[in-house]
């Protein structure tokens, strides 16, 4: 998911049931920054599919650990 896609579709994400607005873009920027820091420290993560797929997982979790993504919540229920 690229930043331009998020910026261009922010208004649709809220309508689809996600807890997302233009104020949420900071979460995505923070997630991308943190991933880049980790990649800088360990370049092997670049080819780690699990790491790359999980970069933006944190934007769906609030400060209390609640998941606002229906698909992530469903995946977590299945894996328990």
Q: For residue range 8-65, what is the model confidence (pLDDT) as tens digits?
A: 888 888 787 777 777 778 888 888 899 999 999 998 999 998 888 888 887 766 666 6
Which residues on neighbouring strands pair with residue 67, listed in sequence order? Answer: 61
Query: What pLDDT does 38 receive?
Result: 93
- Mean pLDDT value across residues 61-76: 57
Q: Which of 34, 14, 33, 15 is nearest to 24 (CA)?
A: 14
pTM: 0.61
Q: What is the pLDDT of residue 63?
A: 61
- Structural tokens at position 18: 């996600």
Cα Rg for the chain, rounded, in angstroms? 14
The three-state secondary structure class of 27 is helix
Question: What ranges do the domains of the chain cover?
Answer: 3-79
Residue 43 to residue 59: CA distance in whole angstroms: 23
């Amino acid at each position: 998911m690229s930043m331009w896609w998020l910026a261009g579709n922010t208004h649709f994400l809220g309508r689809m049931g996600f807890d997302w607005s233009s104020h949420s873009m900071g979460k995505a920027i923070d997630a991308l920054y943190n991933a880049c820091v980790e990649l800088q420290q360990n370049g092997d993560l670049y080819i780690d599919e699990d790491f790359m797929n999980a970069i933006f997982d944190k934007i769906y979790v609030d400060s209390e650990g609640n998941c606002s993504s229906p698909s992530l919540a469903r995946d977590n229920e299945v894996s328990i």
